[in-house]
Amino acid sequence: MAQCCAEGFEHSGTPVGKVIKIGNIPTYYSRAKITSTSSTSVTSDDSYSSRVLVIATDVFGYELVNVRLVADRYAALGTFDVYIPDLHNGDSLKAETYDSILLKQTGFWNSLVGNLKFTASIPSLISWFSKHNEKVSTPIVDNFLYALKSERPLITKVGAIGYCWGGKFAILAGGKLAKQRSTTINNQTLTPSVDCVIACHPSLLTLPADIENITVPTFFGLAETDHVFSKQDVARTQSILRKKGNLTVLAYDNTTSILENNTNSNTASASSSSSSLEFVMIEYKGTTHGFAVRGNENDTKVVNSRNHVLEKSHEFLVKHLA
């Protein structure tokens, strides 16, 4: 599991947002690009959007350029401000330390050296996951969401996006248990719950509990090959979601750039229950764990899939955060 969660490619680009503090938590903030069609999302004082996205990152944390560029892309669509809090308390894995895993070079010898370095790093990775488990990290997520809603009280809708490690915590924020953890701050009763969830190649899920507890519309962007969220995990998740609401299962074949029915789902597509809760699950053919935030920019198939999951997840968020 550790290697899947730590491997990938570092992307090029210059983030346009800034680092602020929310509840004393360092947070990358990317302001929504204001357009004629997005202005209704902006508060009267024009200081921040009333509908926002919070990104829970992978193990490389909020400083990694990749996830900041993703935040900027969502913000550039003009609908939501985007926040990426430091949920690791300054203890994210550093790209420069793991540059043989977060690949910057290719080739047989470089790959061999990288694999050897990864093997040597396994004990420290295991230690990292134990220090940032659910018991430790859930209160940090809660405190950020409490603070965000308290410090920016004109926010009316919150969507959570989680990548890899962060996928679990986005899902937990969309669960019924989050709604029960209310607190009072400045005479406001606040919960750390969110209104919509996007989970891209999530890891460390506790099945079936994490999925059974979901109470908000949820979109899953899944890799075709993922040892962290296996085919068996996908099947169990689909079974649970079909009982909870309306589930649509699709596959994206990036060689033809069309959506097609996922034959592994037996039906293709949509199942319905008595609930109107919407779930969407798209499997991206030819991708591996981490593609949505750490995929190879030189692989056209991966880039197409990354672009598609961002586009479709944004459409889902617009629909459910209206």
Return d(Cα 117, Cα 112) in angstroms, integer. Answer: 9
Q: What is the CATH number of domain 2-320?
A: 3.40.50.1820
Local structure of 68: helix, strand or coil: helix
Return d(Cα 135, Cα 148) in angstroms, integer. Answer: 21
pLDDT of residue 175: 97
Local structure of 283: helix, strand or coil: strand
pLDDT of residue 263: 46
pLDDT of residue 94: 80
Mean pLDDT in order along the chain per 10 residues (322 residues): 50 88 97 61 62 97 96 95 98 71 48 52 81 97 97 96 98 96 93 98 97 98 95 97 96 74 50 79 94 90 94 97 94
pLDDT of residue 112: 46
pLDDT of residue 98: 56
- The three state secondary structure string of 103-128 is ECCCCHHHHHHHHHHHHHHHHHHHHH
**Radius of gyration of the chain measured on its C-alpha atoms:** 19
pLDDT of residue 210: 98
pLDDT of residue 107: 53
* Neighbour count for residue 65 (Cβ, 10 Å): 15
The label of the residue with tokens 């996205």 reads 53
pLDDT of residue 66: 94
Amino acid letter, 91: D
Q: Of all helices (H) and strands (E), which one includes residue 146?
A: helix 134-151
pLDDT of residue 35: 53
Phi, psi torsion values for 88, nearest 5 degrees: -110, 5
pLDDT of residue 47: 76
What are the residue boundaries of the structural domains of the chain, listed by start? 2-320
